[in-house]
Structure 1
Amino acid sequence: MGEERIVRKMLFEDIEGLSNAFVEQGWPERKDVLHKYFLEQEVGERQVLVAVVGESLAGYITVIPLAKHGPFAGLYPELTDFNVFESFQKRGIGTALLDKAEQEALKYSDVVTLGVGLHKGYGPAQRLYIKRGYIPDGSGLWFNNEALRPICSL
């Protein structure tokens, strides 16, 4: 039958475990960011949904009721900081997290937006977004809340 899988709101106690999971896969620790997310969750500015498999934290995604940056700032909810730890990938965890996150985002709007990382570490998430029907908006790359301008012409 397999281990029980649930998706639930982040608890304060999850901060250390999530941060440690990043370190275990060779990424920087994230305690400060996760603590900030938890505080934002406490005041309703963000939801942090955590996937738990058995006793292990498998990943998380955040839902912002109104995007803070980019072309949809202040207009639509945004799914952002989507992470499934490497040892849990290709097991349906990402799909379960996105299902729950989309369900929550649709409470705010019938339009859901994504913040998408572009380096190859985000490749599995990028492919999953396309399979689920997400389409780039055509506004280009954004950095520090501004659309990037071309740096040269060919």
Structure 2
Amino acid sequence: MAAGYAIRALRDGDPEVISAAFTAIGWDKPVRQYEAYLAEQQAGKRDVLVATVDDQFVGYVTVRWESAYFGAIPEIQDFNVLPPYRRRGIGSGLMDAAESRVAERSAVVGIGVGLYVDYGTAQRMYVRRGYIPDGRGLMYDNQPVPPGETVRNDDGANLMFTKSLRT
């Protein structure tokens, strides 16, 4: 891990802090989302890794152990670093930590990425990290989009990737 930040598990008290940090930048990420993540983490269904700088929240990533899309292949989901903390290695550190956790249980990890410009950096990062499209094409809310079908380009539209974690 690079100097200057720490990564730890989500804990009590974090949901309010995380939601407030995203509200401050105009993103709708309600407290109940993080409360649900905490409950899923406590139940062993999801791991949530939180990045901090000087004990202040700066980003997070989750690992869903059973994916609605990939099934038994764990899926990295909901990866965010606050804009002022990007391009400092924190996102890479979160991804390293998530992949390391998954590698303890699975030889493969999955991830989805949105298709509009806000996801451009993530698209490039995933390819550089060795993720490749799973070959099933465009998905909308985890369902394949048939040829000729029109869908809205929002957070429901994704291309899904996998990565081998063992050589």
Q: CA 1:152–1:9 in 2, change beyond 3 Å: closer, same or farther?
A: closer
Return 5+ residue gaps in structure 1 as ranges.
none
Deviation at 1:142, TM superposition (A): 1.7
In the alignment, what sits opposite 2:26?
26
- Check the 8 A contact 1:3/1:53 in 2, yes or no: no
Alignment of 1:2-151 (within 5 A): 4-69=4-69, 72-73=70-71, 75-151=72-148
- Tell me by how many angstroms 1:30 deviates: 2.3
- Measured in 2, the distance between the counterparts of 1:142 and 1:92 equals 29
In proportion to residue count, which structure has more strand?
Answer: 2
Instruction: List runs of 5+ in structure 2 lacking aligned partners.
Output: 151-167
Deviations 1:34-53 (A, max 9, x none): 11111100100000000011
TM, length-normalised to structure 1: 0.89
- Deviation string for 1:98-121 (max 9, x for gaps)? 000000011121111112222222
Cα offset for 1:146? 1.2
Report sequence identity in percent.
41
The answer to which of 79-88 and 26-35 deviates more is 26-35
Number of aligned pairs? 149
CA spacing shift, 1:152–1:76, aligned 2, 3 Å: closer
Q: Which whole-Å CA distance do the structure 1 matches of 2:131 and 2:102 have between them?
A: 14
Show structure 1 runs of 4+ deviating over 3 A: none
Q: Deviations over 1:9-56 (max 9, x none)?
A: 001211111111111222113212111111100100000000011121
TM-score, L = length of structure 2? 0.82
- Alignment check: 8 A CA contact 1:49 1:101 kept: yes
State the superposition RMSD in angstroms: 1.8
